[in-house]
Amino acid sequence: MKKLDRLVLSALCLVALLCLATISRAESPFNGTWKTDVAQAKWSPKPLIFYISEGWYHCVTCNPTFDVAADGQDHAVAGQSYDTLAVTIVDDHTISTTTKKNGKVTAESTRTVSADGKTLTVHSTSHPKDSDKALTFDAKAKRDGVARPGVHATSGRWIVQQEKGSDEAFTTTFKVDSDQISMSQPDGENYTATLGGGDSPYKGAYGFDAVSVRLVNANTIEETDKRDGRVIDVNTMTVSPGGKMMTIVESDKVTGRTTTFTAKKQ
């Protein structure tokens, strides 16, 4: 009888463990597809700073900073997600930029300042690394301080106020299976990493090439993105108790800017 009791108890424990593992996988609050509502974003109050003077473009808040001739030609830059930048002065109120990586265009943008000089409108097109579909974005920023004389009108300190863009850029799917987490986006960015483990490859992105993810608690994970061994940003993602909303706090370690987003499970 005791032997039978032990067998029954062992069987019950095994069933319980299997059920617990199944429940753990099924009930991960991160599993599913999430869409970020950028209209609700709380943008960093820290300004982006650049200026054009005497035919040269100076990126002050780029890290590392750089200066390139604003002559429409590709110029080498270091330490960025791109390796060349071309800046063109379109007119007194507009400039355009083109970035490339290994000769491939990664993004194009047009920056236009309003007649009163207080608002900067940016229209950009991004070309994902592993997707043929271009993504478009439109952003607005307000001037911090006053316009300086002797520089191009787009020059100055700009605080982002709003942004909108292609759905593919704001849709993310997560899958947690035991201690493994996978992320994928329609634009081709993806990774699979071990929770609490070391760096894993971050694929399909120009900005990142490695990622590590740790479980802070049952409803919060922290993702650290790197490029060439350097931490680029840290994203802390927390799912609400109801499991329908996610808050993402993005801490940009390169520029020192922190932005908070909200995503809804689809």
CATH number at residue 37: 2.40.128.20
- Residues 52, 155 contacting (CB under 8 angstroms): yes
If you average pLDDT over residues 125-145, what whole number do you get?
96
Q: Please report whether residue 16 resides in a domain.
A: no
Residues 58 and 117 in one domain: yes
pLDDT at 16: 40
Q: Pick from 113, 130, 165: which residue ends a domain?
A: 165
Which H or E run includes 19?
Answer: helix 2-26
Residue 20 domain flag: no
Residue 30 in this model has a pLDDT that exceeds 60: yes
- Do 57 and 158 belong together in one domain? yes
Whether residues 201 and 152 fall in one domain: no
Work out the average pLDDT over 218-245: 97
DSSP 199-226: -EE-BS-SS-SEEEEEEEETTEEEEEEE
> Is residue 104 predicted with pLDDT exceeding 70?
yes
Co-location of 212 and 136 in the same domain: no
Sheet strand arrangement including 48-53: 66-69, 56-59, 48-53, 156-165, 135-143, 119-126, 104-113, 94-101, 84-91, 75-76
Structural domain ending residue among the three candidates 165, 190, 211: 165
Confidence of residue 18 (pLDDT cuts 50, 70, 90): very low
Domains identified in the chain, total number: 2
pLDDT at position 9, please? 36
Supply the range of the domain harboring residue 75: 48-165
pLDDT of residue 103: 97
How far lies 105's CA from each of 83, 120, 177, in Å? 10, 23, 36
What is the C-alpha separation between 250 and 42, in angstroms, rounded?
Answer: 10
pLDDT in tens, 180-194: 999 999 999 999 999
Could you tell me if residue 19 is inside a domain?
no
- pLDDT (tens digit, 9 = 90+) per residue, 208-222? 999 999 999 999 999
Same domain, residue pair 159 and 218: no
Same domain, 120 and 195: no
Question: Is residue 9 a part of any domain in this protein?
Answer: no
**pLDDT-based confidence at residue 27 (cuts at 50, 70, 90):** confident
For residues 65 and 141, membership in a common domain is answered with: yes
| Predicted TM-score (pTM) above 0.85 | yes
Omega before residue 64 within 30° of 0, cis: yes
Q: Are 202 and 211 in contact (CB under 8 A)?
A: yes
What's the rounded Cα separation, in Å, for the pair 110 and 90? Answer: 9
Tell whether 152 and 59 lie within a shared domain: yes
- Conformation bin of residue 212: beta by default, left when phi > 0, alpha when psi is -120 to 50: beta
Does 4 score more than 60 pLDDT? no
Residue at a domain's end among 149, 165, 181: 165
Region 101-124: what's the mean pLDDT?
A: 98
User: Is residue 254 a part of any domain in this protein?
Assistant: yes
Q: Which of the pair, 7 or 204, is modelled with greater confidence?
A: 204
Burial class (CB in 10 A: 0-12, 13-18, 19+), 20: exposed
Same domain, 181 and 251: yes
In a shared domain, residues 257 and 191: yes
For the stretch 48-103, pLDDT in tens is: 999 999 999 999 999 999 999 999 999 999 999 999 999 999 999 999 999 999 99
Query: Going by C-beta distance under 8 Å and a sequence separation of 6 or more, which residues neighbour residue 247?
Result: 237, 238, 240, 260, 261, 262, 263
